[in-house]
Amino acid sequence: MQLAVLPLALIACSDSASTPPDAPVAIDASTSSCEGACKTTNLAAQFGSVQRTLDRAHYGVVTTATGSHLRIEAYRGGRTGCPTMTSPETDYTLILGNVPMTTGMTPVTSPGNILDFVGDLLDGALGAAATAVTITPVANDTMFVAADASLTFAAGTITGHLYATHCDSLDEQQ
Residue 148 scores a pLDDT above 60: yes
Q: Give the single-character DSSP code of 127.
A: E
pLDDT band at 115 (very low <50, low <70, confident <90, very high): very high
Residue 166 scores a pLDDT above 90: yes
Among 62-66, 89-93, 117-121, the least confident range: 62-66
First to last CA, the chain: 22
| In the chain, where the domains are located | 2-173
Specify the pLDDT at position 106.
84
Specify the pLDDT at position 167.
93
Residue 16 scores a pLDDT above 90: no
Note if the pTM is more than 0.85.
Answer: no
- List C-alpha distances in Å: 11 to 15, 60, 72, 84, 130: 9, 10, 12, 7, 22
Specify the pLDDT at position 20.
38
Mean pLDDT over residues 134-153, rounded?
Answer: 92
